[in-house]
Amino acid sequence: MATHRMHRLLTVASVCALAALALMTWQLFDPRVFPVIVAMSLGQVLGTASFAAFGYVVFADLRARLTAAREARTIKTDAE
């Protein structure tokens, strides 16, 4: 269940990053005031959210791997 949740979070992070990139590119092709304001504000929010989600998934995976390694070491020590 947790793996499915992390996979889903990575998918959402990827979509947010692509949407932020599209917004940033939109302002290059349409340099009026509204596209620039939307790209700089909404693009920043989406980009930051995608980075935060990616960082959360990496941290959670690292924590799970370290916990599993610690438990495996404890079980191996107890067996000896």
pLDDT tens column, 10-32: 999 999 999 999 999 988 888 89
Is the pLDDT reported for residue 5 higher than 80? yes
Sequence-distant (6+) residues with CB within 8 A of 36 are 27
pLDDT tens column, 27-78: 888 889 988 898 889 999 999 999 999 999 999 999 999 998 988 888 777 6
Q: Give me the half-sphere count of Cα atoms (radius 13 Å) on the Cβ side of residue 74.
A: 6
